[in-house]
């Protein structure tokens, strides 16, 4: 399956999720972000797509499209190749509007959408965001929350899957295991949309 990860808002966790799915579950990646570092971190599995390109070729292996925090002409094409659109966002009032814009922009493609409230502090903020999204779209939308986690940031810094950290044991093993399970569950959730 192919997955488009998008939000016109920056810093919401798009590349973190892409990185963890690629390093942990054998996906390839297309990095459609001139400011991104995913293709530098995982050069074997991530292709950098030039910002000048008007088109992207249909991937031959399971691929994650990691977009930067802006609209791009290649977004519709990536979505057409994708089984699922993942929209990470930070559920605070100030940042919801950018996410609504993204949601409205991609909803017309009629592909399944999974919203990922990331680094949320309060359960209530997630519910408020869900309400706004569903009011805007007129249909229900699935949410998969990811908490703020030092283990995830460590996995990014060490350029590995959080699942690999959790196998190392030691004093931090518990924190790693918790985050590893969340990413495992996210992957399982994503797989529910395969061949839908």
- The residue count for binding ligand ATP (CB under 6 A) is 19
**What's the alpha-carbon Rg for the chain, to the nearest Å?**
16
14 binds ligand ATP (CB under 6 A): yes
Cα distance between residue 98 and residue 10, in whole Å: 9
124 binds ligand ATP (CB under 6 A): no
**Contacts (CB under 6 A) with ligand ATP, residues 130-159:** 146, 148-149, 152-153, 156
Determine the 3-state secondary structure of 46 from DSSP.
strand
Nearer to Mg ion (CB atom), residue 116 or residue 166: 116
13 binds ligand ATP (CB under 6 A): yes
Cα distance between residue 179 and residue 112, in whole Å: 25
Of 9, 3, 22, which is closest to residue 155 (Cα–Cα)?
22
The DSSP 8-state label assigned to residue 146 in this structure reads B
Choose among Mg ion, ligand ATP, none what residue 156 binds, the Cβ cut-off being 5 to 8 Å by kind. ligand ATP
Nearer to ligand ATP (CB atom), residue 118 or residue 180: 118
10 binds ligand ATP (CB under 6 A): yes
163 binds ligand ATP (CB under 6 A): no
14 binds Mg ion (CB under 5 A): yes
Output the smallest distance, CB 14 to ligand ATP, in A: 3
Helix spans in the chain (H): 14-25, 38-41, 75-81, 93-107, 123-137, 150-157, 162-166, 173-191
Nearer to ligand ATP (CB atom), residue 130 or residue 178: 178
| Region of residue 143 (phi > 0: left; psi between -120 and 50: alpha; otherwise: beta) | beta
Determine the 3-state secondary structure of 4 from DSSP.
strand
Which residue from 2, 4, 15, 118 is in contact with Mg ion, where contact means CB under 5 A? Answer: 15
Q: The tokens 């559920």 sit on which residue?
A: 91
Q: Where does this chain bind Mg ion (CB under 5 A)?
A: 14-15, 36
**Given the rule CB under 6 A, which residues bind ligand ATP?**
10-16, 33, 36, 68-69, 118-119, 146, 148-149, 152-153, 156
């Amino acid at each position: 399956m192919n997955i488009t990860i998008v939000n016109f808002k920056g810093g919401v966790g798009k590349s973190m999720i892409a990185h963890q799915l690629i390093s942990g579950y054998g996906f390839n990646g297309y990095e459609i972000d001139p400011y991104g570092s995913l293709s530098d971190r995982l050069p074997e599995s991530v292709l950098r797509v030039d910002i000048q390109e008007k088109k992207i070729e249909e991937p031959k292996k399971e691929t994650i499209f990691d977009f930067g925090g802006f609209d791009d002409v290649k977004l519709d094409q990536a979505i057409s190749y994708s089984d699922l659109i993942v929209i990470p966002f930070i559920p605070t009032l100030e940042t919801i509007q950018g996410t609504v814009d993204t949601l409205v922009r991609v909803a017309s493609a009629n592909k399944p959408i999974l919203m990922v409230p990331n680094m949320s502090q309060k359960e209530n903020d997630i519910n408020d965001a869900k309400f706004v999204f569903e009011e805007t779209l007129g249909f229900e939308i699935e949410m998969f929350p990811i908490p703020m986690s030092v283990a995830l940031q460590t996995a990014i810094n060490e350029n590995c899957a959080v699942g690999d950290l959790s196998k190392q044991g030691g004093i931090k093993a518990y924190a790693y295991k918790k985050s590893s399970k969340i990413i495992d569950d996210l992957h399982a959730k994503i797989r529910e949309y395969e061949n839908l």
